[in-house]
Amino acid sequence: MSIAIKVPAVGESITEVTVGQWFKNDGEFVEMDEVLCELESDKATFELTAESAGILHTKAEEGETLEIGAVICEIDADAKEETKTEKPATKKEADTSEKVEKTKSTGEIKEMHVPTVGESITEVTLASWLKEDGDFVELDDIIAEVDSDKATFELPAEASGILRHVAAEGETLEIGGLICKIELTDGPAAGERSSATESDTKDEGKQKSSGKENYATGHASPAAAKILAEKGIDPKSVNGTGKDGRITKEDADKAEKKTAPSPSKTTATKDKAEEEKPAAEAKGERPSRREKMSSLRKTISRRLVSVKNETAMLTTFNEVNMKPIMDLRKQYKDQFKERYEVNLGFMSFFTKAACIALEEWPAVNAQIDGNEIVYHDFCDISIAVSSPKGLVVPVIRNAEQLSFAEIEKEVVRLAVKARDGKLTIDEMTGGTFTLTNGGIFGSMMSTPIINAPQAAILGMHNIVERPMAVNGEVKILPMMYLALSYDHRIIDGRESVSFLVRMKQLLEDPARLLLGI
């Protein structure tokens, strides 16, 4: 009986996923609940597990995009795992077997988890196992190498015993994830252990003195192999700087493809080059690199183009005198910080002003659903945040009910989770109106793109001191341009302009925010 495995529903607004990496090959026997592959959406990465034991038949390639519910693979549940042909034990396996026989299991299991390897590192990739499954390992033996996005680390055994692999080479694990288990054993007698240690030392010394390469020499880690393949470089031409000559990710990044000219053409090429010298030659190195677009970046690109093509988007502008807010913050920021343990920023003022204006102009807080317009009687404000992986838009729920301090705390919480890549799908879906602050990067003016299916987005910009006419006098005031992009299909000019004028009124007189007038 063949069981079809389909792409599961992974979130309310997610309609498709990309096959990130297969951990099992086509035709390979898999156990029930074993991880088959990784699926990437525009917001998170998920693991797909086997629904039954049997022979795997893949239906999609790595990098292929599938819709929710599409068949990704099939499992032949009637097939049985083929019996592997026994091969003569190597000297290493024989030595390991002899060690295991000399030890006795205590029945205890030591679980090893991925250690913390850096403040900003949240996951690592298991580059390679240096000890095989079933090998006897001593305490502090190096059993594996793990790659992060910054460096390669060695994983030492946390106990003596029989090693049992849990994660496969190339698998990505979160910090704290289970990587292997060690069946604790009573070690051999002191004399036997000492003898074995001396023997191992002699063997290592003999190997070093003979200058022979081992299995790791010239072997690329999964991350390095991927980079070399994209560059079209043969791993044999790269000198590895990792353990035992292994090619690390850093080696692959530095590697450059070398092309040697044919000896017969060298002289002719040289003469021709001398005859045809260019007027001006480029000096210095001119490196370039090519990177595969992430699933998040591809989804952002597709959605932004879709919004431009499928909405009647228009932008209207206004300017705001920020001096009243700046004076208010200057006067009360220390007391606010002391009482609420959070800074008093601009975002709380804009969020509160937006909520009041949205309640007065509900079309700006609406969205189109087929042939209907959905009006919201609540304000879920999306905050555009630039994260290391791309633009994300977490949501402040029921912002109209929150105080200034509660808004500021929520902004800080969501921004930190976005920076660390820990936002959940629920925290990034369901907003009704979006605020984006390009001013923190120095933007003076822009036309932000609507965050579909919302109908409008407010763009904030940098604050610049400009001469302004006030009651017949010229004054230097800190001014900010505001830009409201909106879907002209459901928001008319009267509503969009009036919304922006109301925002200006509330921000230039902050007391109105407290009084609600």
Other Cβ atoms within 10 Å of 110 Cβ, number: 14
* pLDDT for res 105: 66
Domains 2-76 and 91-200 share a fold: yes
Residues designated catalytic = 488, 492
222-253 is classed in which CATH architecture? Answer: Irregular (4.10)
Provide the pLDDT for residue 269. 53
pTM value is: 0.49
Helix (H) or strand (E) holding 434: strand 433-437
Superfamily of domain 307-515: Chloramphenicol acetyltransferase-like domain (3.30.559.10)
Residue with more model confidence, 42 or 157: 157
* CA separation for the pair 349, 325 (Å, rounded): 8
Contact predicate 403/427, CB 8 Å? no
- Residue 239 pairs with which residues in a beta bridge? none
Distance CA 199, CA 201 (A): 5
The confidence score (pLDDT) of residue 408 equals: 93
Among 216, 120, 131, which residue's Cα sits nearest to residue 224? 216
Q: What is the rounded CA–CA span in Å between residue 421 and residue 121?
A: 10
Lowest model confidence (mean pLDDT) among 40-49, 186-195, 331-340, 341-350: 186-195
Which class is domain 91-200? Answer: mainly beta
Pairing of strands 54-58, 35-40: unpaired
pLDDT, position 213: 53
pLDDT tens digit string along 368-417?
Answer: 988 899 999 999 999 988 877 777 889 999 999 999 999 999 999 998 88
Residue 31: pLDDT over 70 = yes
Using DSSP bridges, classify how beta strands 433-437 and 456-470 pair: parallel, antiparallel or unpaired: parallel
Q: Are 359 and 417 a contacting pair, CB within 8 Å?
A: no
Residue 211 banded pLDDT, cuts 50, 70, 90? very low
Percent of the chain predicted with pLDDT > 90: 30
According to CATH, the topology of domain 2-76 is OB fold (Dihydrolipoamide Acetyltransferase, E2P) (2.40.50)
Give the confidence band of 241 by pLDDT, cuts at 50, 70, 90.
Answer: confident
Share of the chain above pLDDT 70, in %: 78
Per-residue pLDDT tens for 1-24?
A: 788 888 888 766 677 888 878 888
Report the alpha-carbon distance of residue 53 to residue 419 in Å, rounded: 39
Provide the residue ranges of all domains of the chain, joining segments of one domain with +: 2-76, 91-200, 222-253, 307-515
pLDDT at 284 over 60: yes
